[in-house]
Amino acid sequence: MSEKCRVCEKPAVRNLGTYSFCEEHYKAATRQRSWLWPADLTTLLLSIAFVLVAFGLDRWLQPSFSSLTLIVLGIIMSFIPAGLWLAMFYRRDRYEPEPKVLVIQVFALGGLMAWGIGDRVLNILFDVDNWLYANWWTQLAGGILVVGFTQEFLKYLAVRASVYRLQEFDERTDGIIYGTAVGLGYATALNIDLIVASGGIDLGTAAFRIAITALAHASFSGVMGYFLAREKFEQNPIWWMPLGLTLAAVLNGAFYYLRGLIAIGQITSTGGSSNPWTGLFLAAGFAILLTWSLSKLIQQDVATAMATKEKK
Amino acid sequence: MTLTLTTKGLRQLKHDRRSVLAVTALTFLALLLGAVLKSSVENRSQRIERKGVTASVPANWVVEDGAGDLIFASWDPFVPDIRYTVFLIPNRSSHPLTQVSLERNLALGKGLEGFKVLEETPIIRRGREGYKVTYAFIDTNQPGMPLVLQGVDYYFPAEGNAIIISLQAHDRDYDEALLRFEAFLDSVSYK
């Protein structure tokens, strides 16, 4: 066999499906990071704990901050879910290390995509605030077609144009790792944008908003990352990646539609009320379900790949 | 063997490129459908009839019946600063539209802060002779900083009466609102 490795261009010694790999990257492509799912779950639980602490402190102390202080505190809080995830990542990734600089770069790229392009496309080109909420079906359809596709495509582009071609993207779980990083970056930018535009939000409300957005975007782009990783390590049909993007966009649109549906309380004679807890539980449910499903799918994919006849 | 390697590598490269193109094309298609959806939401209209005046306003807009000369007012619930109003001034067939506009401008000048007529001109719109007045004023009733609003009044004779079709919008939204207002303007009729 004189073919080149799909990842590093060295002479290939093994095949997985129609793609060829060197020994090192064959091992990487069939490796599983069994710690990833518990690490993600721990991050999720810590994010909920962060909301509880911020909400509790806000209620207990009832602090009175100036607008500037609220903005600064809000910006700092926006980085907490990403910080928790990165901390878990550093802690658990000791034996199969992923370049941390790359993970942070992808995180930053996600944020830049949100600020530089996503915000402009959604708020200036499509002016979504002025028509998306006209009725339930425009909210759902527009949420998927405009918001979902724009945000997920930008996250896809951030990973595809940066780490995807690098040798460091050499495992199936890398798709989920970089997908989560870009999603957290995107969510952090959205949260900062909201906090600055609102002139600061009280700490309890900000904690809910930050955790919900971070969990949701990390989950959607985790799905997109799974499809990207399989795209790299398997020869899939042409519709494979469009399917992945569509699924992520549908999850994105459906999540925000459901959140709006269940998080807004009954309209009473004294006005509307909202229940942020239901939004948080929905985001946590989405994150648990998707992370667990992706973990199982990767296990299954690796098992299938290993069972496929190898040729030397 | 080298030929096999090159062919396979090339095939993989082509596959990767096709995949990126497919994702990009799908996104553009989704955004195109989204633009159609946006346009359909914005252009959907409700037909309303009040005191012999019929008009089409955007489907999701609020319509409020008026009193006296005001037939109705309608506004975008998401952008309440954009407001359409229709007035019917009775028995004015003997008065020129300029006289009607003068009376209205005086009334607006008394009621609105910083009211200023920017332009007034006779017009012919879709074969109907009329009169157009554009103006600006300051809204100090909103919380926070005062807003500059722009307005345009179209005056047309209508069965012995004068009909005034009016738009008021925040200075920032005015140009965009004006484009949409034109469709409303053409939809107004009086029987």
Residue A292, SS3? helix
What is residue A239's predicted lDDT score, i.e. its pLDDT?
A: 94
What is residue B173's predicted lDDT score, i.e. its pLDDT?
A: 86
With CB atoms and an 8 Å threshold, state whether A135 touches B60.
yes
Integer Cα distance of A249 and A171 in angstroms: 24
Written as six digits, the tokens of A93 are 């990734």
Contact A185, A159 (CB under 8 A): no
CB contact residues (below 8 A), chain B span 25-64, against chain A = 26-27, 30-31, 33-35, 37-38, 41-42, 59-60
> Which of A52, A57, A68, A62 shows the shortest CA–CA distance to A198?
A68
What is residue A312's predicted lDDT score, i.e. its pLDDT?
A: 41
What is residue A270's predicted lDDT score, i.e. its pLDDT?
A: 36
* Å between A38 CA and nearest CA of chain B: 31
Mean pLDDT, residues A92-116: 83
Reply yes or no on whether the pLDDT at A268 is more than 80.
Answer: no
A113 sits in which H/E element: helix A100-113
Reply yes or no on whether the pLDDT at B185 is more than 70.
Answer: yes
Q: B81 touching A, CB under 8 A?
A: no
Q: What is the CA radius of gyration of chain A?
A: 21
**DSSP code string of chain A:** --PBPTTT-SBP-EEETTEEE-HHHHHHHT---TTHHHHHHHHHHHHHHHHHHHHHHHHHH-----HHHHHHHHHHHHTHHHHHHHHHHHHH-SSS---HHHHHHHHHHHHHHIIIIIHHIIIIIS-GGGTTTSSHHHHHHHIIIIIIHHHHHHHHHHHHTTTTTSTT--SHHHHHHHHHHHHHHHHHHHHHHHHHHTT---HHHHHHHHHHHHHHHHHHHHHHHHHHHHHHHS---TTHHHHHHHHHHHHHHHHHHHHHHHHB---BTTB--B-HHHHHHHHHHHHHHHHHHHHHHHHHHHHHHHHSPP--
Contact B38, A131 (CB under 8 A): yes
Mean pLDDT, residues B143-170: 89
With CB atoms and an 8 Å threshold, state whether B23 touches A241.
yes
How many beta carbons lie within 10 A of that of residue A90, not counting itself? 13
Written as six digits, the tokens of B28 are 């553009």
With CB atoms and an 8 Å threshold, state whether A142 touches B38.
yes
What is residue B93's predicted lDDT score, i.e. its pLDDT?
A: 60
Instruction: Tell me the chain A residues in contact with residue B23 when contact means C-beta distances shorter than 8 Å.
Output: 153, 156, 241-242, 245
What is residue A272's predicted lDDT score, i.e. its pLDDT?
A: 39
Residue B14, SS3? helix
- Nearest CB partner across the interface for A149, out of B12, B15, B27: B27
Q: B114 touching A, CB under 8 A?
A: no
Mean pLDDT, residues A47-57: 86
With CB atoms and an 8 Å threshold, state whether A238 touches B31.
no
What is residue A92's predicted lDDT score, i.e. its pLDDT?
A: 60
What is residue A36's predicted lDDT score, i.e. its pLDDT?
A: 67
- Point out the least confidently predicted range of A81-90, A131-140, B18-27, B180-189: A81-90
- Mean of pLDDT over chain A: 82
Confidence of residue A301 (pLDDT cuts 50, 70, 90): confident
Contact A103, A174 (CB under 8 A): no
Integer Cα distance of B19 and A239 in angstroms: 8
With CB atoms and an 8 Å threshold, state whether A141 touches B37.
yes
| pTM (global) more than 0.90 | no
What is residue B37's predicted lDDT score, i.e. its pLDDT?
A: 94
Integer Cα distance of B22 and B9 in angstroms: 20
The top-scoring range by mean pLDDT among A18-32, A84-98, A273-287 is A273-287
What is residue B84's predicted lDDT score, i.e. its pLDDT?
A: 95
What is residue A246's predicted lDDT score, i.e. its pLDDT?
A: 97
Written as six digits, the tokens of B19 are 């995949």
Contact B48, B57 (CB under 8 A): yes
Q: Is A266 exposed, middle or buried (0-12, 13-18, 19+ CB in 10 A)?
A: exposed
Q: Which of B4, B6, B7, B23 to mutate to test the interface with A (most CBs of A within 10 A)?
A: B23
Mean pLDDT, residues A101-119: 94
Instruction: Tell me the chain B residues in contact with residue A144 when contact means C-beta distances shorter than 8 Å.
Output: 30
Confidence of residue A308 (pLDDT cuts 50, 70, 90): low
Instruction: Tell me the chain A residues in contact with residue B31 when contact means C-beta distances shorter than 8 Å.
Output: 121, 145-146, 149-150
How many beta carbons lie within 10 A of that of residue A215, not counting itself? 30
Q: B98 touching A, CB under 8 A?
A: no
Mean pLDDT, residues A229-258: 92
| Phi, psi dihedrals of residue B138, rounded to the nearest 5° | -110, 130
Reply yes or no on whether the pLDDT at B54 is more than 70.
Answer: yes
CB contact residues (below 8 A), chain A span 36-95, against chain B = none
What is residue A40's predicted lDDT score, i.e. its pLDDT?
A: 73
Instruction: Tell me the chain A residues in contact with residue B19 when contact means C-beta distances shorter than 8 Å.
Output: 231, 238, 240-241
What is residue A253's predicted lDDT score, i.e. its pLDDT?
A: 95
Query: Distances in Å between the alpha carbon of B72 and those of A140, B45, B112?
Result: 32, 16, 20
| Phi, psi dihedrals of residue B17, rounded to the nearest 5° | -65, -40
The top-scoring range by mean pLDDT among A63-72, A77-86, A117-126 is A117-126
Contact A170, A5 (CB under 8 A): no
- pLDDT tens readout for residues A169-190: 877 788 888 999 999 999 999 9
- Nearest residue of B to residue A156, measured between CA atoms: B23
Instruction: Give per-residue burial for A166-184: e unless 16+ CB within 10 Å, then b.
Output: eebbbbbbbbbbbbbbbbb
- Nearest residue of A to residue B41, measured between CA atoms: A131
Mean pLDDT, residues A299-312: 64
Contact B88, B106 (CB under 8 A): no
What is residue A311's predicted lDDT score, i.e. its pLDDT?
A: 45
Reply yes or no on whether the pLDDT at A89 is more than 90.
Answer: no
Mean pLDDT, residues B110-138: 90
Pairwise pLDDT comparison (B186 vs A242), residue with the higher score: A242
* Å between A90 CA and nearest CA of chain B: 31
Q: A136 touching B, CB under 8 A?
A: no
Relative orientation angle of helices A172-197 and A203-233, to the nearest 10 degrees: 150
Mean pLDDT, residues A145-150: 97
Reply yes or no on whether the pLDDT at A59 is more than 50.
Answer: yes
Task: Give the full edge-to-edge strand order of the sheet including B189-190.
Answer: B45-50, B53-58, B189-190
Instruction: Tell me the chain B residues in contact with residue A249 when contact means C-beta distances shorter than 8 Å.
Output: 30
With CB atoms and an 8 Å threshold, state whether A134 touches B38.
no
* Å between B117 CA and nearest CA of chain A: 30
Contact A253, A140 (CB under 8 A): yes
- Nearest CB partner across the interface for B30, out of A134, A145, A235: A145
Pairwise pLDDT comparison (A245 vs A288), residue with the higher score: A245
What is residue B6's predicted lDDT score, i.e. its pLDDT?
A: 61
- pLDDT tens readout for residues A204-216: 888 888 998 998 9
Integer Cα distance of A8 and A5 in angstroms: 6
Reply yes or no on whether the pLDDT at A104 is more than 60.
Answer: yes
